[in-house]
Structure 1
Amino acid sequence: MSHSRLVLGAFGLAVAVDLGSLAAGFDAGHAVAKPLLMPLLALWAVLRRAPRPLVAALLFGWGGDVLLLSDAESAFLAGMGCFAAGHLCYLVLFWTHGSRYAVPRARAGLLALGYATALVTTVALLWPDLPADLRLPVAGYSLLLTAMAYRAAIRLGLFTGLGGALFLLSDTLIATGVADWPQPPVPDFWIMLTYIAAQVLLAGGTIEALNARRAPAATYGEMRAV
C-alpha cells in the first residue's frame, strides 16, 4: 500500500502541474505533465491488482494524450483511435468483471434511453459544423464512447458510471472545439479536468467494486482457517 500511495501522490502532483499550467497558459508545463498522467494512474492500478483490461485502457489513454499534444489532423485521428481502443478495453472490462445486476432493469432502461438521446442529439447538432472528413470518424467514435459510458453505469456502479459520463462530457467539449462552436474560458482546462476525473473514477470505481467482491470471500476463508 505504501508504494501505491507514493505513486498516487506523484499522480496528484502531475495533475496539479498540468491543470495549473493550463489555467496559467503555461504550455510547456502542460506538455511535460500531461504524458505522465495515465502511466502513473496505470501503475497505481497495477499495484492495486487491477484487471488487465483496465490497465490497457489507461495506457491507450496515454497514447491518445500524447498524440493530441499535436495540432495536426492526422495526430487527432490517431489519438481518437487510441481512445477508441481504450473504450473497447473498458467494454471488455465491464463485460468480464461487471455485474448484470449492478442497477435495476428499469433504471438501466432509462439510462439507455438517456444516453441514446444524448448521442443522436449531439451528433446531429455537430454534424453540419464538423470538417467533412471528420464527420464519420467522430460519429463512430461517439457511438463507442456512449456505449462505454452506459456500460460503466450499469455494470460496475456509481463511481464508474460517473467516470463514463465525465469522459463523454470531456470528449464532447473537444468535439465542439473541432466544430468551432463558442467555447468556455480556458477550454483545455475544462477538457483535462473532466478527462482526468473520468479516468480516476473509472479506475478507482472498478478497483473498489472488485475489492468489495473479494472481501466476503476473504472473510469466509479466514473463518474456515479458524
Structure 2
Amino acid sequence: MENVVEPAFQELPASATQQLDLDQPVPSQEAFLQEFRRLLGAITLRLRQHPVIVAHTENNFDGSGVRRLLSNKFEFDKLLDSVWREVPRERKDKQASKEYLRIALDRIADSAGLPPLGAVGQVDAVVNEAFKMAKADDLRAVDEAEFKKLLTEVLGAVMLQLDASPVAVSTNTVVHEPMCTSSSSSALLSPTPLSPMVSSPASE
C-alpha cells in the first residue's frame, strides 16, 4: 500500500484523484470504472519499474510429524523427560497441574511437526478437541507418569484428527522490496486447499 498503491494515487491527475475520493459521490458507474482503470494502469507501471518478489510456501499439517515422533519411542521418551523437568510442581508429592500440559505440548510442537499454539487457528481447534477427548483440561494435579500419559494421549488424538482432516496453510512473504527505505517483510497465513509444499519467488 505505502510503496505501490498510494504513490499510484498521487501520480493521477488532480481531477481523477478527486473522483476516486471514497468520501465523494461518484457521478456514474462509467466514470468510476474509467478512473479505476487509470489507477490500475499506474499501479501496473510502478510494479513493472519496481517489482516485488514474494516467497510462497504451503505447509500441510496432516499428523505425519506426530506419527513419526510417537513411533520413535527412545526419542519421544527423552522429549517427555525434558518437558517434565521444566514443569513447575509441588516438592512434597512431585505433582503438577494439568494446566502445564498445554505448555509442554507447545515445547514439543516443532518435534511433532505442529505449529506453535496460537499460530494456526485450525490446528488450535484440533488441539482443543484433543484435550477434551483426553479429559486433560481440568486443573487437577497429576504425577509424572500420568502427566506423560495424558500428553501422549493428546498427541495421539491430534494425530488422528489431522490424519482425517489435514490443515493446509499458505504463507506469502515479501523477500525483496527495493522501494522500501528499510528492510521489512509482510506475511499472511490463510487456509488453502491441500497441495504439495511449494517455495518459490514470484514477481507481482
Give TM class, smaller chain: under 0.3
More strand as a share of residues: 2
Pick the structure with greater CA Rg. 2
Larger RCO of the pair (alpha carbons < 8 Å, separation 6+): 2
When normalised by structure 2's length, the TM-score is 0.28
When normalised by structure 1's length, the TM-score is 0.26
